[in-house]
Structure formats: C-alpha cells, structure tokens
Structure 1
C-alpha cells in the first residue's frame, strides 16, 4: 500500500512527516512525501520518496514582498495572515493539479493544515449538492496530521489560540472556533477551485468542521507539553513529537564544532523564518546583553538576517554567527536556546533538555512561549515588538537559574522517552488495517 504524506508549508511542516514516513516504511508501507520543490533537502537521505510540488515556497516567502510581510508580522499578525492568503491563492492552481495527480496514485493520504480542505474536496462525492451530497469517497482513507493544538477547546492550556490561556472558559472555545473560521478562509483557495471544477458547493465552516471531526487526526505534540483536553473529539489522537530515525547523527560545520569546543556552552539565538524589523539592532542588543552576563553566543544568521558581522576581536569575539545547523545536534550543547517559538524549534529545545527564552512573532508561537513558562523552563515569553535588552537579560537570568535548568532537564528526559513517530505509525497502520478489512460507517 502506498501512503502519500502532504507537507505543504515550511521545513517545520515537512520534517515531522519525514519521521512518520520512516516509521511507516518499517511497517512495510511504500511512502511518498510531497512538498514544495525547495524543501527536497529536508527529505533527502531519509529513505522516503520525495514528490516535489511544481513550485517553491520557502524562497518566495523569504524574499521581496514575502520577506517584508513576514517582517511586519513581528508587530502584527494581520500582515502574516494577508501574506498567507496571498500565497495560498497564488499557488492554488498548481497545488490543486499536483495534489490531484498524487492522490489518484496513492492508496491512502495524510494531509496537513494547509492541504486538509483540498484533499477533502478531491475525495468528495460527486453526487448531489448540499445536505444530499455524499460527504466523502470512503474508498480512499484520509488522515489529518497537525503539529500544534489548533482544535477548538475551552481548555486554555490545550489550545493554541485562547483568550484565557490559563483557565477553562467558554471564551476560549468561542475564540479558537473563530480562529478556525479565519484559518479556513486562508487555506481554502485550492479546495474551492477543485469543488468549482467538479460542480460541488463551496464548503461552509460547519461542513469543514464536520469533515475534520470525522477524520482521524494525529496531534504530534508531547502530552508532557500539551495536556490533553477533555473536549477534544474522539477522532483526535495525540502522540509525542515525531523525530527522524537518524536524529542527532548529523555532523556540525567544522568551524561551529571548533567554536563549541573552545569554551563554555553558548547561548543559541535564532528566529527561524521570522525576519525582524531591525536585524542589526537586534544583534547589537544580543551582543551587549551576552557581554554583560559574560556568556558566549551562537547567532543563527539565516532568514532573520541576524548578521553578527566582524567575528574577530572586540565585544563580538565570543559571539559567533552561524549558518543552518541541525537543532537536535546543536541544542544539547547550548546553555540556553533563545528562539521565536515555532513548534519544531520548541520541540527540539524541549528534547535537548535546555532552558529557553521565547520571543514569539506570530501564529501559535505565543502559545509555545506560555507553555514553556508554565512548565518552568523559561521566563514568560517576550513578544518580538516588546523585546528590549533589559527584558532579554532578565529572561536569560531566569533561564540560567538552577530551577529552570532542573525543570528543562527533567522535561527533556520525559519527552525523549516517548516514541511519537512510532506511535503515530502504529495508529495509521491500525486504521488502514481496519479499513482494508471491510467497509466502515465513518472515517
């Protein structure tokens, strides 16, 4: 049986699926992973077949107008949402055509947040409209994979977007449901295009919610970090993080290896794919704070544009600018991880057992920052627009405290003991085995 994994999005949307694909291959499945063409390097060497989509995604998001819009998301999420809607609209035709061909060739499909509605449209029945339409072609199994707790919930600690993050409230359920409506509007262009071509009605939010509720859903987030909510639907199953078989085996750049070996464990600073309005000023602030605290630093220059500049002599002598590096290898050798709060980066820092400073820029990042603070491994998150040298210094002092270090170490041990990708693969296998043994009444 061939299982198609759809990795539309950035590296953080693709890398966990590589881990799932490796585990499914162990169970005897043929696995292909579709993702934007510029993410081939994320899949390379994994043993999972790569199916490049006919467009790049990370590059356009990080250049020109895309870069400017993401830079604006450091101050407001409106620009980020506008950019995502624009990207999904511009790629709708190519995405619909690519995924349609790939779904036709697959025996089962695992989609993500950006492709769920598209796959639902491709598998929709062609007979009738509205309430009389067949909800789904049940001959082809469809599963849904998410990497953040985006399902609407009243429990603030278990939903990424909550008005009252540390309590259980109807306001959280209402607000996260509204966020789901907004997300559907952002992600639906390709699905709308398929339905229009097939003469099917455009989905209302309630239709999409019903489809998601009956679709087996895998949440790839450790229960030690995201507590299970009592109001999640039965179709939602939680596992630990999905980590590649070969995690931790990649070699670091020789220069970085030499830097790490030359002194105390440095503070890692990196904001992933989140550009910042004043990268030069941000680096100067980081260098100044690390200098005051007597700490070494490794600054990920990358997309955020955090260029350290002169690496010899002066205040920056113990602050090194670095290129891309495997987090699962680098983070365990750092004293603190300062990051933007992306789901994948947070998971890597948790697994490393290292305290953190979270500087959220957008989307679900504030949630991960709050969870790290609630778990005792970080100070309360500092929104990017509120980041100052004094706030950064206070957050680093909290992260370097014995309490935070002990909490991070203990949390890391618990999370590393989980087999999230293996558990997910076994759940997929059990579901597909049930489906192949006979007809079912629901997904």
Structure 2
C-alpha cells in the first residue's frame, strides 16, 4: 500500500535527520537590515542600448530574460548575450540575442565534478582545466563582440551604451572600460564581502574564530583564487583584443569593490535582508519572475495530476549527473518509502527508467505552471527554481551539487520552509524520504505560505530596473540635441562641447553640418584601474617583480613563439599567423574568392608559398617578442618603478591615519604634467608644514607625551612628501607620455568603436528617421554652436 496522507510517519521523522535548522549556522542576523533600502526612483527618459551578458545554465539566463522584458517597457533596446544554445529561448521572449560561445552543459558537468574552488586531480589529468580556460577565452571574445557587432541573424547594428552582467561572465568591467560606459552587475547569489554570511563558494569548516570575521574573509579568498586561475587569461585578452593595460595582480581580485561597481542582488529581502555592512551602491531588490507562460499540458500529464492528491516535484534541471541510473534508483526508493506520488523531471541528466507506480516522468514544462499543481518540491537549489517554489508557497528540499545551491538550502531551512539541505554525495533514499515527510508537515507548509505572501508583495524585476536607473550618470548619458537619445559623440567648437546621439550625428552629417573628422567618441563613464600602493618598499618590489616577469616572458618568447608558429602551420597548413586570434580562423589566401577549398594535393608552388608564409610568421613572432622585451625594459625603468616609488612615498602618511590626496587620472602627457605640478606643490607645502601641524595636533590630543610623536611623524612626512614631489616631476609626465603613446597604438580598437557607432547611426537614420525632425535639429545645432 502507498500512503498519500500529509501526516508524516513518526518513527521515521523522529530520528531528527531532515528536521530544519531554525537558523542557518552561518547567517548572522545582527548584520541584516529589516527593510530593502532601495535607492529613490528616478524619472528616466534616455533610451539606451543595453547588452546583458550572462554565463551559466538556463536557470541563470531566465531571470535576465524577465529583466530585459521589463527594461524594454522603459524604451531601452535589449540584447542578451549568452550561450548559443539559448538563442531560441531568448529571441522567443522578444529580446535580441548575441552568442558568446561556451557550452553550458560542459560547464555544469565540470562544476558537479569540482564543486569547490580547487579542481580535483581527475579533472587536472583529463585536461579539463585547460579546456575550461579555452572556453572562457572564447566567451570573453564573445562578450566583447556582443557590445558592438551587428545581430548575426537580422544584421541590425548595435553598439552598447550600458552593460548589465552576472559576475561569472568576467568580461563586464573590461568591456565597459574599453567603451567608457556604465556597467551594472546583477546576480542571484552574494558576491560582495559581508559579515552576515560566507561566500557561497567557500566551504567553511567548524572553527572557534569569530564567524563574522570568517564570513567576511571568505569573499577575499574566493576572489583571490578565482583571479589566480583566470587572471592571465583576462589580461591576455585585455592586451591583445581590447588593447588595455593588464590589471595588476594586486588589484584584479578586488576590482568590483575598488571601482564601486553597482550591484543588485535579485533575491527576496523577506528571505535574506540586505546586510548592514553593504554600502549604498549595493541593492537587494527581490526575485525576478517572468509572467506565467502559456502552457497546455499533455493529456498524460493532466490525467496523472487528476488521478490523485497533488504529487511532489523532483528535478535537477541542468545538472549533469555522473550516475543518472543510480540517482533514479534513489528517487524511486524514496518516493516509495514516503508513500507519495511524484513528478520527476528528466532534466539534462535524462533521469528515468522503467514503469514505476505513482511516478510520472516529465520533459520540458514551465515551473511557473507546474509548481501550482504540486504539494512540495525537491531540486538542486538553483536560485530561480528556489524562488519559483517559494513564490507558490511550496515547501522545498534542496539537494545541492555546487555553487550557491548549499547557500539557498541553508536560507530555506533558516526560514523553516524546508529541511536542511542534503548534499548530493550524501543523498540516500532514507534521508530523502525524511526530508519529503518534513515538507508535508503543517509547520513547513505554513512557513512556505507565509514567505510566499511576503514575496508576492514584492516586484523584484521592477525594483531592479529602479536600481539600475538610479546608479546611471544621467547628465553624461543624455544627448544635448535629442534628450531621449543616448550621447555617443562629442562635437567641440571653441570652448563649447555638444553631446550628440548616433542618429543626430547621422542627420547632421547628411545635412552637411559636420563630418566624422569633427567628432570624438563620447565617454559617459570612464573607468580607471589604479595600482594602489601602501609604502615605497613593497611598491617598488612588486613593480620590479612584475617587470621581471614581462622581461622573462618577452625573452623566452623570442625562441618559443616562432616554434609555436611552426607547429601551428604543421597542424593546420591552411592557417597562419594572419589569424586575428587562435580561436578565430581566417581563410587562407589559397582559397578562391568564391570560398571554395584548395585542392587536396597542393602544388609545389603552393607548398613554397606556405613555407615562405610560415618562415615570415616565425620571424614576425620572434620580432614581436623582442619588441615586447624592449618595451618592458624601457617602460619599467622610466615609468613603472618611478611611479611605484612616488605613489609608495605618497602613501606613507596612511600608516599613521593621515589622508592622502587623490589626483585626477593621468590619461595623456598634458594631464601627467598637471598632476606632477600639483603633487610637487602640495608635497613641498605639506612636507614643511606637517612638522608644525602634526606636533601641535599630537600635543593637543596627548599633552607633552605627544610632542615627540608629532615631531617624529612630521619629519617622516617631510621626507616622504618632498621626495615624492621631486620624483613625481619625472614619474607622472613619463606616465602621461606612456598613456599618450598607448592611446595612439590603441587606435585600432578606437577606430572599430567609431566605425560601429557610425554605421549604427546610418542604420538608425534609415529606420527611425521619424523620431527626429531634421529641420529643428539643424536649427538647434546652429544655435548651440554659434
């Protein structure tokens, strides 16, 4: 006999396994706010091109589809850049799509095998680490192209005015820096340091240390280990594709925090309020829910639902399980032991096998529809699935595999809406049956329904759009001529600067009012990544080590790069160093204009040409490495070490709690001279006056004992600030010259951005000319320019 009662069996439930924790052990309630504390709503009128970059499973992509649809209601143009397999899903939601590459199934399989930050030896031996790095390199290129390439299907032109991304896409800040546009991160799991709970990817063991301190430290550790594994890939892509300076190893792990990148977390503040130690640029807005999609169940599914009490749902979505047959057996036994009916989703692991009583196997079905017809849910703990179950008041058992899934299991347990999470490696039919029993108790049902009532009072996706708008720089984004359009170009006449949109420039150009040579790229949100220094010793040491690494890399490359070119030509005779990137192939010159492949047996002439091409490529590779060696030596000696010494000396007052002046960024030789002059003047003045001021202040605070301390710190300040001022007279102008040279060399990326914006302007003028009155636009332009 199978039982369908909601009353649990006391003998099984009474063991205690599966009973929920009243408080997740790492959740520090004293560190949480009681209200969402969102920024004020902004009356937003500017229509932006927004690219949303998302890496992950369908559960990661789906919330951003809902966000994109909400942003469209405000007039924004939305392109969602993610894995190729989700193209139909994204386009069917009415959003534009761009493929980033990467295989989410392979990523999920890797994460199941390596749930922690340190990969296991099996994955290392199998070469999975290198394959993952190559995939990430591919996705970085895809994310960059998504910012300024036309739609691959419709050929519609697009250049991003702003970027929204989830942190694992990795390209976000760097693309925004290359384009000088705003970037806003949105995520379903904590990624910002807090004392309230640990980083979901950290595996904290029992410790006697203060849990708040441990929680906070886990974020830095995760960031550091992540950068150690991928920093070289990111920096190579920055240097070769974006033509940006490499991010210093000391800054890479902490970019989001030091740059104050706005972050919005899409979970319910009713479940997890915003931590009190999160600053104003971090918001918690609520879960993202799309409208319930239209769905007509199959006859078999409807008959099964009508045949008895509401079943439980069991599914692990996009998780790729090593042993699906073993997992299926556990699920069958648990369902039988609990005496319930069940719907089991086959998912990416293709669970199922045999005709089992009271079990229905399901392929694709929207959770928003299905979860209204079940009594409880058992799943892997993806944020989207967790949110959907709680939205409909369903008690939830989470079987985490990796990532944030254990975090969500703990949060559900803390709310009483489910038992403690059961990690998949410890899952048995017995503990799963106990968890199901708990989910069917009045206690769990009441907790889930209470949480559901609170969540349904929220509108996470609307709050997220509000947060996004609140953190945008409206004044720098708005076109001066057409207020609802985004400024993309600067036109300067005399002392006046006019910000112009793409379509305005196209119309004014057609009217003969200006040409492309009269314009400069508008930069609404420049991003500068500085190498923070703490003292002159560590500053010079770290700069010297970095320079030594570049010099060694260049010296070794003189010999290894030609060999790599030779091997590449041998492995693929039709591919040479003419390729823009190892992941992007270009046709060999021997291909015909029609694209036909070369003959199977190359002629002696073609062999001779290939041999010459290979030799030329090898010589070029060697010369390039030699050039890098020379540049690294000269730049290190003339710029990097003097800058490190100057900044290190300027930072010394921080050691005794004195503020250090922050100067404007150095972008060219002119700004380098300006900063050098200001630093020299301020350094000389403060260096002398600090002897008297610090002695006076210390005496005032500490009496006679403070005189010696004040005099000592004043003398240190005198030496540090005056020396920094003198050295800075050389260092800062040298850095400015270096930046000017880099800007000239980086012209390739700048020209690509200019060309993409120009083409989009022409395309817009042809398609949306009715949005702007050319006569009024020309008249207003003449008035402002006069």
TM-score (norm 1): 0.85
In 2, Cα distance between the equivalents of 1:195 and 1:173? 30
Residue aligned with 2:78, SS: strand
- Judging changes above 3 Å, is the alpha-carbon distance between structure 1 residues 76 and 350 closer, same or farther for their aligned structure 2 residues? same
Partner of 2:540: none
Partner of 2:282: 236
Match of 1:91 among 116, 132, 135: 135
Residue aligned with 1:182, SS: helix
Checking the alignment, whether the CA contact within 8 Å between 1:153 and 1:159 is kept in structure 2 is no
Residue aligned with 1:27, SS: coil
* Shift in Å, 1:20: 0.9
- The number of aligned residues is 418
How do residues 263-278 of structure 1 correspond to structure 2 at under 5 angstroms?
Answer: 263-278=308-323
In 1, Cα distance between the equivalents of 2:253 and 2:117? 27
In terms of fraction of residues, the more helix-rich structure is 2
Checking the alignment, whether the CA contact within 8 Å between 1:360 and 1:383 is kept in structure 2 is yes
* Alpha-carbon RMSD: 3.0
- The reply to whether residue 154 of structure 1 matches residue 154 of structure 2 is no
In 1, Cα distance between the equivalents of 2:53 and 2:80? 6
Checking the alignment, whether the CA contact within 8 Å between 1:359 and 1:382 is kept in structure 2 is yes
* Shift in Å, 1:407: 0.6
In 1, Cα distance between the equivalents of 2:91 and 2:144? 24
Gaps (5+ residues) in structure 2? 1-47, 149-158, 479-498, 500-523, 529-786
- Judging changes above 3 Å, is the alpha-carbon distance between structure 1 residues 235 and 430 closer, same or farther for their aligned structure 2 residues? closer
How do residues 219-368 of structure 1 correspond to structure 2 at under 5 angstroms?
Answer: 219-244=265-290, 246-307=291-352, 309-311=353-355, 316-368=356-408
- The reply to whether residue 107 of structure 1 matches residue 150 of structure 2 is no
Moved more, 429-438 or 412-421: 429-438
In 2, Cα distance between the equivalents of 1:185 and 1:265? 49
How do residues 77-226 of structure 1 correspond to structure 2 at under 5 angstroms?
Answer: 78-79=119-120, 86=130, 88-104=132-148, 105-116=159-170, 118-124=171-177, 139-156=180-197, 161=202, 163=204, 168-186=211-229, 188=231, 191-197=234-240, 198=243, 200-204=245-249, 206-213=251-258, 214-226=260-272
Gaps (5+ residues) in structure 1? 126-136
- Judging changes above 3 Å, is the alpha-carbon distance between structure 1 residues 325 and 30 closer, same or farther for their aligned structure 2 residues? same
* Shift in Å, 1:75: 9.9
- Judging changes above 3 Å, is the alpha-carbon distance between structure 1 residues 241 and 81 closer, same or farther for their aligned structure 2 residues? farther
Partner of 2:74: 27
- The reply to whether residue 378 of structure 1 matches residue 378 of structure 2 is no
Q: What do the CA deviations read for 1:169-220 (whole angstroms, capped 9, x no partner)?
A: 1011112321122233455565323222225123435344244451111111
Partner of 1:134: none
In 2, Cα distance between the equivalents of 1:249 and 1:221? 25
Checking the alignment, whether the CA contact within 8 Å between 1:153 and 1:229 is kept in structure 2 is yes
In 1, Cα distance between the equivalents of 2:284 and 2:362? 35
Residue aligned with 2:377, SS: strand
- The reply to whether residue 369 of structure 1 matches residue 409 of structure 2 is yes
- Judging changes above 3 Å, is the alpha-carbon distance between structure 1 residues 434 and 219 closer, same or farther for their aligned structure 2 residues? farther
* Shift in Å, 1:59: 4.2
Q: What do the CA deviations read for 1:373-416 (whole angstroms, capped 9, x no partner)?
A: 11001111111111112211211111111000111111112112
Residue aligned with 1:34, SS: strand
Match of 1:421 among 444, 461, 464: 461
In 2, Cα distance between the equivalents of 1:84 and 1:419? 41
Moved more, 371-380 or 193-202: 193-202
* Shift in Å, 1:37: 0.8
In 2, Cα distance between the equivalents of 1:29 and 1:234? 25
- Judging changes above 3 Å, is the alpha-carbon distance between structure 1 residues 31 and 84 closer, same or farther for their aligned structure 2 residues? farther
Checking the alignment, whether the CA contact within 8 Å between 2:395 and 2:448 is kept in structure 1 is yes
In 2, Cα distance between the equivalents of 1:142 and 1:199? 17
Q: What do the CA deviations read for 1:52-82 (whole angstroms, capped 9, x no partner)?
A: 23x35224446xxxx4x45534799735997
Checking the alignment, whether the CA contact within 8 Å between 1:12 and 1:343 is kept in structure 2 is yes
Q: What do the CA deviations read for 1:64-121 (whole angstroms, capped 9, x no partner)?
A: xxx4x455347997359979854542224432333223223111111211224x2322
Residue aligned with 1:269, SS: strand
TM-score (norm 2): 0.49
How do residues 400-415 of structure 1 correspond to structure 2 at under 5 angstroms?
Answer: 400-415=440-455
Checking the alignment, whether the CA contact within 8 Å between 1:218 and 1:424 is kept in structure 2 is yes
Residue aligned with 1:337, SS: strand
In 2, Cα distance between the equivalents of 1:36 and 1:290? 35
Partner of 1:58: 104
Checking the alignment, whether the CA contact within 8 Å between 1:162 and 1:176 is kept in structure 2 is no
In 2, Cα distance between the equivalents of 1:71 and 1:162? 15
In 2, Cα distance between the equivalents of 1:406 and 1:374? 14
Residue aligned with 1:320, SS: strand
In 1, Cα distance between the equivalents of 2:525 and 2:137? 33
In 2, Cα distance between the equivalents of 1:77 and 1:318? 41
In 1, Cα distance between the equivalents of 2:168 and 2:115? 22
In 1, Cα distance between the equivalents of 2:418 and 2:118? 24
Checking the alignment, whether the CA contact within 8 Å between 1:253 and 1:325 is kept in structure 2 is no
Match of 1:13 among 60, 83, 87: 60
Partner of 1:396: 436
